[in-house]
Amino acid sequence: MVRRARDRGLGLGYAVGEAIWEDGLPYRESSLLAAAYRHGVTATVHVAVGTDIVHMHPGCDGAALGETSLRDFRKFAALVAELEGGVYLNVGSAVVLPEVFLKALTLARNLGREVAHFTTANLDFVRHYRPSVNVVGRPTGGGGRGIHLTGPHEILVPLLFGWVLELLEGGP
């Protein structure tokens, strides 16, 4: 699947979502990547080679994995470049995504994009150094706002979702 994605010029997030949905896998209705594929929403996957069990499989193609993940980084960086006035959530990633976010933001700023006034939130059950610095602190230092939401994901995520729905419906 990863080689096919590479050969088709796809990113890993799209390819996995497509495979889950089109192959009719069980529980596909519960998959975020399948939902993104179905609705045409960009979903990106940022692989740290060696961190997942599939990387140990003899059929794992590091070149294809790297190329599809790099495509996703470029898509993610393009989205971050448009973050001015928006919101970025880091949900439960203590190392990889805070680094990916900071690098994408730095890339956008180094290319001259105005990305200073936005809100970030880190949701996790405990505060970690990297998200505190690379998501909440450093990126928003020039005029944005960084928020820590500390607690269990099974409580925080539904509460946040409900609050956003309430705001969209014109509530407080």
pLDDT of residue 106: 97
pLDDT per residue as tens digits for the range 120-147? 999 999 999 999 999 999 999 989 999 9
**Domain edges within the chain:** 1-80, 83-172
Q: How many secondary structure helices (H) and strands (E) does the chain include?
A: 7, 3
Query: What would the two tokens of residue 97 be?
Result: 């995504």
pLDDT of residue 54: 86
Half-sphere exposure of 149 (CA within 13 A, CB side): 18
pLDDT per residue as tens digits for the range 15-69? 999 999 999 999 999 999 999 999 999 999 999 988 888 888 999 899 999 999 9
pLDDT of residue 50: 86
Residue by residue, DSSP assigns 26-86 as TTGGG-HHHHHHHHT--------TTSSGGGGSTT--HHHHHHHHHHHHHHHHHHHTT-TT-
- As a whole number of angstroms, the distance between CA 136 and CA 144 comes to 9
* Strands lying side by side in the sheet with 145-150: 87-91, 119-124, 145-150
Helix orientation angle between 12-22 and 32-39, rounded to the nearest 10 degrees: 90
Q: Are 46 and 69 in contact (CB under 8 A)?
A: yes
Question: Is pTM beyond 0.85 here?
Answer: yes
pLDDT of residue 17: 98
pLDDT of residue 125: 94
pLDDT of residue 142: 87
Query: What would the two tokens of residue 124 be?
Result: 């996790």
* β-bridge mates for residue 8, sequence order: none
* pLDDT > 70: percent of the chain: 99
Q: Residue 167: which pLDDT band, with cuts at 50, 70 and 90?
A: very high
Query: What would the two tokens of residue 94 be?
Result: 């203590």
